[in-house]
Amino acid sequence: MSEGTDIPAEWTRQPAQPGQPGAAPVPPQGGFGPPPASYGSSVPQQPTASAPLGATPYPTQAQAPAAFGGGAQGGAPDGDRPDWEALADRNEAVHRRRTRMKIVVWSLAGALVLGGVVATAMVLSGSKKSGKTVAGPTASPSAPASGSAAPSPAASGSGGPGGDPSKPLWEATTDTAPLSATGLFPAQTVTVNGATWTRTIDTVTDPCWDATTGGLGSVLGDQTCRQVIRVTYVSGDSAVTLGVAVFDHQIQAENSLKNYKGHILGLSAPGAPQFCNAVGCASTHGTLGRYGYLTVEGSAKQGGIAQDAAATAAAPGFDDYIKGQLLQRAKAESSATR
């Protein structure tokens, strides 16, 4: 350099000793650095940058904070680096457990709902409608008087081990035995409610409406009623007429009595007082197979008194009597086809 040129003091500063911060300062741009340490070296030495006295040196790449990297490059130990693969495995295991729990919960809920539906279906299937409509107090036939035919037990309509016992009576094609009043009601006397009732007259009426009053004839006729078989039993001053309306199929019998009104006409023996020839008497009705069974109860006294307490009380017992006779017919039909 030329004489008289001032050399900056930093240029004459001694290099930093080991353990001291900073290094020799870098000359300004365009200046010359200090001479190489050895002129005989084949590789020129780069000038070492130095920070001003008291300044904190800039971190080198090897001193990068551990947060920006890990392992050999980041300078942080491998143990501080998150194991992302293990975390992913744990999250997947938790998700699988939750999914299994949901499946178990929904399966249990579905089983409970299905159990409730099955229980409800069993209750509904176990309940059956009775085909009997009874007016007046309940009564059942008692033992018959000596020499008279016993009324058959009431039919439950639920069938037994062999199924519904009335099945042969469901339609005319399987119920082919002859029909008559004496065939259905052969007993001359029956005992109901402790009283003996004696048969006085029977008849078969065709068309059906001739044996009815109060609009019942049109109800029966709408379902093609074939005939009405009637028989009257009397006990003292009380009278009960039993009737059986005959159809071709049980559906017709059931439909005919859904809109039941009026009642069958009371049937009196020749010379006996007439009873229940108009609406006003107590009556009952029901169906079994292709038959509709009906009763009307009144007073057999002269003067046409419609209501009679003893006859009304005996009506349910006579209902059971009719059903028992029809079931005997079904049993005979079933035996004949074997």
Mean pLDDT for 219-234 is 96
Cβ atoms < 10 Å from Cβ of 204 = 14
Block residue for tokens 């002269």:
302
For residue 89, the tally of other CB atoms under 10 A from its CB is: 11
Q: Is the pTM of this model over 0.85?
A: no
Helix (H/G/I), strand (E/B), else coil: 158: coil
8 vs 290 pLDDT, higher one: 290
Give the pLDDT band of residue 218 (cuts 50, 70, 90). very high
User: In the block, which residue shows the tokens 């009705």?
Assistant: 285
**Mean pLDDT rounded to a whole number for the chain:** 72
Helical spans, DSSP H, in the chain = 71-74, 84-126, 181-184, 216-221, 250-256, 309-336
**pLDDT tens profile 21-35:** 544 454 444 444 454
Query: Residue 307 has what pLDDT?
Result: 83
Q: What CA–CA distance (Å, rounded) separates 311 from 185?
A: 18
Interatomic CA distance for residues 332 and 338, integer angstroms: 10
| pLDDT digit string, tens, across residues 165-189 | 999 999 999 999 999 999 999 999 9
- Spatial separation of the C-alpha atoms in residues 129 and 131, rounded to whole Å: 6
- Contact between 257 and 242 under an 8 Å Cβ cutoff? The reply is no
| pLDDT recorded at residue 306 | 75
* pLDDT confidence of residue 59: 46
